[in-house]
Amino acid sequence: MRYVKQMKLYHDLLKSNEVKKSRLLGLDVGDKYVGLSVSDVNNKIASPLSVLVRKKTNIDLMATDFQILISNLSLEGFVIGYPFDRHKGNPDAVQVKLFIDELKKTGKLENVKYTFWDECFTSKNVEFLLKPLNLHPVQFKTVIDKFAAVGILQNPWRRDTWILLVGVKEVKCYTTKMIHNLHELSM
């Protein structure tokens, strides 16, 4: 895996889309799960994909899963959520770096480009929207992980991002600005 700056990944994506349609994979890395989202072929809308169980013993299997996704979905690179505005040595930041290092050690993703995107409050935004649905705790956590990855992938190049929550119990569509305003009203 090879780190590239955000705009470099986006520039490479635009260049590759002139020849073939490429997508991005969003990752929300947690201590137990990794939420995944994928962009559409025009890279305008992110959709939830799945949640991978994260264990020290399955990193090689996860790298293989990523290889399959890269091939099947024509992925150009990964956008990985990272807590930029927190204090140094933050456990969440350390966790993300360890995950990337573990994936690199497998040697299976050598040519994969990735970048980081600020994930602060991504999970909290989704949690805020889902609370009224009264989901089972396991379903609640899975949906949060998937849609946090959507928020990470949807945000990088769009200021007024739309987050679409589909198939839980109803369809809701919010801009990130609306979510921010809802947070302010609820405090």
Lowest mean pLDDT among 17-21, 49-53, 74-78, 115-119: 17-21
- Cα-based angle 39, 162, 14 (whole degrees, multiple of 5): 35
Task: Identify which has the larger pLDDT, 8 or 81.
Answer: 81
Q: Is the pLDDT of residue 133 over 70?
A: yes
Q: What are the structural domain ranges in the chain? A: 2-186
The answer on pLDDT for 171 being more than 60 is no
Distance between first and last Cα of the chain: 41
Return the pLDDT at 122: 66
Q: What are phi and psi of 150, to 5 degrees?
A: -60, -45
pLDDT at 123: 67
Helix (H) or strand (E) holding 37: strand 33-39
Question: Are the CB atoms for 123 and 148 separated by under 8 Å?
Answer: yes
Cα–Cα distances in angstroms (integers) from residue 129 to residues 12, 20, 53, 148, 166, in the given order:
34, 36, 24, 11, 12
pLDDT at residue number 170: 40
Give yes or no for residue 159 having a pLDDT over 60.
no
Q: What is the pLDDT of residue 88?
A: 63
* Whether the predicted pLDDT of 177 surpasses 50: no
Edge-to-edge order in the sheet of strand 23-29: 2-3, 113-118, 75-82, 23-29, 33-39, 46-53
The CATH architecture that domain 2-186 belongs to is 2-Layer Sandwich (3.30)
In the predicted structure, residue 181 carries a pLDDT above the cut 70: no
The per-residue pLDDT for 98 is 92
Q: Is the pLDDT at 125 greater than 80, yes or no?
A: no
pLDDT band, residue 86 (cuts 50/70/90): low
What pLDDT is recorded for position 183? 43
- Across-strand partners of 114? 3, 78
* Digit-coded pLDDT (tens) for 90-103: 777 888 999 999 99
